[in-house]
Amino acid sequence: MNFTKVVLYTDGDGRAKFKQEEIALTEGNPQSMLSKVLASSGYQLRYSPVGFRSQWHCTPAPQWVFILKGEMEIGVRDGSRVFKPGEHFYAADLLPSGATFDADLHGHWSAQRGKDPLVTLFLKT
What's the CATH number where 44 sits?
2.60.120.10
Whole-number pLDDT of residue 112: 98
Whole-number pLDDT of residue 79: 95
Q: Which amino acid is at 3?
A: F
Whole-number pLDDT of residue 24: 96
Whole-number pLDDT of residue 57: 97
| CA proximity to 110, closest of 122, 98, 102, 125 | 122
In a domain, 112, yes or no: yes
Whole-number pLDDT of residue 45: 98
Whole-number pLDDT of residue 74: 98
In a domain, 32, yes or no: no
Cα 8 versus chain centre, distance: 6
In a domain, 9, yes or no: yes
Quick check: helix, strand or coil at residue 29? strand
Whole-number pLDDT of residue 10: 97
In a domain, 69, yes or no: yes
Cα 49 versus chain centre, distance: 19
Beta pairing partners, 51? none
Low-confidence ranges of the chain (pLDDT < 70): none
Whole-number pLDDT of residue 18: 98
pTM: 0.92
Whole-number pLDDT of residue 55: 97
- Provide the 8-state DSSP code for 35: P
In a domain, 33, yes or no: no
- Tell which phi-psi region holds residue 111, choosing left (phi > 0), alpha (psi between -120 and 50) or beta: beta
User: For residue 66, what are the domain limits?
Assistant: 2-26+38-96+105-124
Q: How many domains does the chain have?
A: 1
In a domain, 81, yes or no: yes
